Structure 1
Amino acid sequence: MPIVDTHPIVQRAPWAAGTHHNSVAPAKRRILETANRLFYNEGIRAVGIDRLISESEVTKATFYKHYGSKDRLIVEYISQRHSLVRESVNELIREKNDPNLALRTLIDQIVAEVVAPGFRGCAFTNAAIEFTDSRHAVRQIVSDHREWYAETLSDLLKELGHPLPGDGGDELVLARDGVMTGGYAGDPIAATTAFVRVVNRVLSGTAGE
């Protein structure tokens, strides 16, 4: 969910916003950018180290110098995605300085993401599906991301006077799960239309509506 961006966040390089990329070695940055593209488009387990090295245009020694293993790169990949989304959403909320406008903008951006070319579902859900052990570091990051996201939405609903902001935040997160999955596996227009109906029902309980 980028701030003002026609490109969905899933397609953006993890160093594209809110990160101090100038302090990162170019080779390390290329490896993570390559992983970001390949892991999202093709699946984490489907992409091997040799391909990551080849498409990053680095040597094997350079890859292991910066990441040590594919597992460490995977954790960095999903961690960077979480950081990027969090920074983008927090900046949007500060910029809009209005909970209703911030929420509506976030919803519009989710819709734009789902209908954009190259959309392949939620990167966090996709990662969780590939890592079935709930104790794995990837699953912990996904869990932290979802908890942060639900709390952020709940805080906005609370500011709007929603009688049950925690419940509302959970409902919006689940609605987002649904539109991300349904928009990729089925008809994105039907999925986003249903998503907006659910959002409107949740927001109908706020003082600002």
Structure 2
Amino acid sequence: MRRESAGRPSEARDRLLGTATRLFYTEGIRSVGIDRIVAEAQVTRATLYRHFPGKEDLVLAYLDEVDRATRAQVDDVVARGLPPADTVRALGESIAQGIGSPGFRGCAFLNAAAEYSDPDDPVHKAVIAHRRWFLDTVTELLARIREAPAEPAARHFVMLRDGAMAAGCLFDPELICETFLRGVDGLVRAHAAPDH
């Protein structure tokens, strides 16, 4: 929980979380130790432990920040008020922009899942909760296009996204994004088409 003084977030907490977010995303969670985070955030260990009782708490806070950013990204797309099919396409474009951005290193949640594979681990559970929300959200968006069962198409969208995010940090992101967006457009068209 965020500690506050006089109604404002703690600057030390924000520095810790910002530093951890940068390091966890660029170098991996398990490879970054608490001492490095403390040193780069320029705080004491006592300050770290006042805000985050252990590294796991810091990792969960990092994933929570990424989750909030992803939800805001989706909310921004939905708030445009586009027709349903264009909303799904715009979500794809928003994802593609992220893949093409400097410093892109893949999906933070897939990266975390690779490091925390135990289904009972709280970090793994946070990954699964985020992915469930994303699948449910895409399912709801696709259901607005047509009342046909939308979850199979939503799973396809999520798989396209996962593949683009994995490939986007390995290969030419422009080509990957172009391929991803063509896939999203084809998926939207197929889902919108009435059954024969």
Per-residue CA deviation, residues 186-205 of structure 1 (Å, 9 max, x unaligned), is: 23233222212221221112
Deviation at 1:131? 0.6
Q: What aligned pairs does 1:150-165 form with structure 2 within 5 A after superposition?
A: 150-161=135-146, 163-165=148-150
**Paired amino acid for 1:177:** D
Could you tell me which amino acid in structure 1 is paired with residue 111 of structure 2?
N
Equivalent position amino acid for 1:46 in 2: S
Amino acid at match of 2:66: R
- 2:31 is paired with a residue whose SS is coil
Give the superposed CA RMSD.
2.0
Residue equivalent to 1:203:
188
1:144 and 2:162 are equivalent in the alignment: no
Q: Distance in 2 between matches of 1:123 and 1:207?
A: 31
**Equivalent of 1:103 in 88, 109, 115:** 88
Match of 1:182 among 163, 167, 173: 167
Please list every run of at least 4 consecutive aligned residues from structure 1 whose deviation after the TM superposition is greater than 3 angstroms: 206-209
Query: What does residue range 81-100 of structure 1 map to in structure 2 within 5 Å?
Result: 81-96=66-81, 98-100=83-85
Q: Conserved in 2, the CA contact under 8 Å of 1:183 and 1:192?
A: yes
Q: Is the 8 A contact 1:115 1:188 kept in 2?
A: yes
Amino acid across the alignment from 1:160: I
CA contact (8 A) 1:28 1:63 kept: yes
- In terms of Rg, which structure is larger? 2
Residue number in structure 2 paired with 1:40:
25
Name the structure 1 match of 2:114: 129
Q: Which amino acid aligns with 2:128?
A: S
Task: Report whether the alignment pairs 1:62 with 2:47.
Answer: yes
Q: 2:60 aligns with which of 70, 75, 81?
A: 75
In the alignment, structure 2 segments of 5+ residues that lack a partner are 1-6
- 197-206 vs 174-183, which deviates more? 197-206
Using the TM superposition, name which of 156-165 and 177-186 deviates more: 156-165
Q: Is the 8 A contact 2:85 2:145 kept in 1?
A: yes
Runs of 5+ unmatched residues, structure 1: 1-21
Secondary structure of 1:145's partner? helix
Tell me the distance in 1 between the aligned counterparts of 2:121 and 2:42: 29
SS at match of 1:92: helix
In structure 2, what residue type is equivalent to 1:128? A
Check conservation: 2:89, 2:185, Cα contact below 8 A. Answer: no
1:58-109 residue CA offsets vs partner (Å, 9 max, x unmatched): 1111111111111110111112211221133124313425323322221111
CA–CA distance in structure 1, aligned partners of residues 155 and 166 of structure 2: 17
* 8 Å Cα contact 2:88/2:188 also seen in 1: no
Identity across the alignment (%) = 36
The aligned counterpart of 1:12 is: none
Task: In structure 2, give the amino acid aligned to 1:166.
Answer: E
Deviation readout 1:116-139 (Å, 9 max, x if unpaired): 211111111000001121111111
